[in-house]
């Protein structure tokens, strides 16, 4: 068993971890090992939203364009495709890209094939909403966790390898202990998202210091029989309820946005993989929800019931990635999106009341 923190990022602690040095976790878990040369990565969430069924083909055409851009010079080392329906009933397709070097993502965004398409006035006229949410997490402010050692998801696909069994998991606060920066940094959040520029339907926001991002996922492709029934009939409904709470009411407890997404293939067909993506005012706000809020306690309890009933012998795959980013390492851009999209919620929404929002005719609902 070893520490989740890679050797090259270990240093004398000035802040105590949540667990004692002789703590032994109740089950094994693993983390991804990035190359020691990786100091700052790039993550990009590129979305297209629509409200009417007759806009589906155009939106999928945009997704195809994004994939072509990903395949161009300087594109991401790994990408995922996902779909969800947001709080206002808008259907959203998202292409998620991961770059091993933040500078590579910045250069790719500036390439003509990407920049000209994004800045084209047509983006404001075609009846679709577009967004790109960019985060550049530093390696010292990033951690991953996996329930199985043989396949990675998300940013971990860029890793050069994995750890042995790690010590820092299986207790509240373990995510913080896995972050190398937490050895000396309280990782506090401060400030709030701000409008950097607004020109008609184009809105650019800056983030704030200490923002926490979590992508937490599950895959049930290999499950069968009783385990599959337990997950789909007992665990997933409770998970979905918790995700809905964060999407609709999370702002009150420090959650800027939450998306409960399902992976899709290049044809738009759903896969048996899903994840929640949420941005938080701070790691502390995320921890507080995880440790004490009834919605997460219900998720955790239902899952542990499943684990015990299956005697810890699961085919269900679980993972997450957590990053804490400073204001200068975030950029959020929205074109023709409804005013409660992503980080715009609570910043530029004005008198738009989410509870009164009605998607145009033809929109799906949760």
**Could you list the active site residues?**
320
CA distance 211 to 66: 26
CA distance 260 to 246: 9
* Cα 143 to Cα 100, 112, 215, distances in angstroms: 14, 33, 11
Where are the alpha helices (H) located in the chain, listed in sequence order? 56-70, 102-110, 112-119, 174-178, 225-230, 236-249, 283-292, 294-309
Q: Under a CB-based contact definition with an 8 Å cutoff, are residues 245 and 338 in contact?
A: no
Q: Under a CB-based contact definition with an 8 Å cutoff, are residues 218 and 275 in contact?
A: yes
Q: Under a CB-based contact definition with an 8 Å cutoff, are residues 29 and 145 in contact?
A: yes
Q: What angle do CA 252, 257, 261 make, to 5 degrees?
A: 135
**Among all chains, which residue has been given the structure tokens 């206002």?**
88
**Among all chains, which residue has been given the structure tokens 């609570």?**
346
Residues with Cβ < 8 Å from 286, sequence gap 6 or more? 175, 212, 214, 254, 255, 278, 280, 322
**Among all chains, which residue has been given the structure tokens 């991002």?**
213
CA distance 65 to 273: 23
CA 280 to chain CA centroid, Å, is 11
Q: Under a CB-based contact definition with an 8 Å cutoff, are residues 147 and 218 in contact?
A: no
CA distance 238 to 246: 13
| CA pseudo-torsion sign 88, 93, 96, 97 | negative
- Which among 270, 275, 221, 242 has a CA at the least distance from the CA of 96? 275
**Among all chains, which residue has been given the structure tokens 């009150």?**
252
């Amino acid at each position: 068993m070893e520490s989740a923190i890679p050797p090259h990022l270990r240093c004398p602690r000035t802040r105590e971890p949540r667990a004692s040095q002789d703590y032994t976790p109740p089950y094994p878990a693993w983390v991804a090992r990035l190359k020691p040369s990786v100091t700052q990565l790039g993550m990009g969430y590129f979305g297209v939203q629509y409200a009417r069924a007759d806009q589906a083909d155009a939106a999928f055409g945009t997704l195809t364009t994004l994939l072509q851009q990903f395949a161009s010079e300087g594109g991401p080392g790994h990408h995922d495709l996902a779909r969800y329906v947001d709080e206002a009933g808008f259907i959203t397709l998202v292409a998620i890209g991961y770059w091993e070097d933040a500078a590579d993502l910045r250069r790719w965004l500036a390439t003509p094939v990407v920049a000209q398409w994004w800045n084209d006035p047509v983006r404001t006229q075609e009846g679709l909403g577009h967004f790109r949410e960019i985060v550049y997490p530093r390696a010292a402010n990033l951690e991953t966790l996996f329930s199985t050692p043989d396949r990675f998801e998300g940013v971990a696909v860029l890793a050069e390898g994995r750890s042995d069994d790690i010590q820092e998991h299986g207790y509240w606060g373990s995510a913080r202990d896995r972050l190398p920066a937490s050895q000396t940094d309280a990782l506090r959040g401060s400030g709030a998202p701000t409008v950097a520029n607004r020109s008609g339907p184009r809105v650019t926001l800056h983030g704030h210091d200490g923002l926490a991002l979590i992508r937490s996922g599950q895959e049930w492709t290999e499950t069968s029989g009783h385990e599959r029934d337990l997950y789909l009939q007992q665990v997933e409904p409770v998970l979905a309820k918790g995700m809905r709470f964060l999407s609709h009411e999370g702002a009150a407890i420090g959650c800027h946005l939450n998306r409960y997404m399902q992976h899709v293939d290049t044809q738009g067909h759903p896969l048996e993989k899903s994840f929640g993506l949420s941005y938080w005012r701070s790691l502390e706000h995320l921890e507080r929800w995880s440790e004490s809020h009834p919605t997460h306690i219900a998720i955790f309890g239902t899952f542990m019931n499943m684990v015990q009933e299956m005697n810890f012998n699961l085919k269900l795959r679980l993972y997450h990635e957590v990053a804490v980013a400073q204001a200068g390492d975030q950029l959020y851009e929205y074109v023709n999106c409804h005013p409660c999209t992503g980080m715009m919620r609570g910043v530029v929404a004005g008198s738009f009341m989410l509870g009164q929002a009605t998607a145009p005719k033809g929109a799906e609902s949760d």
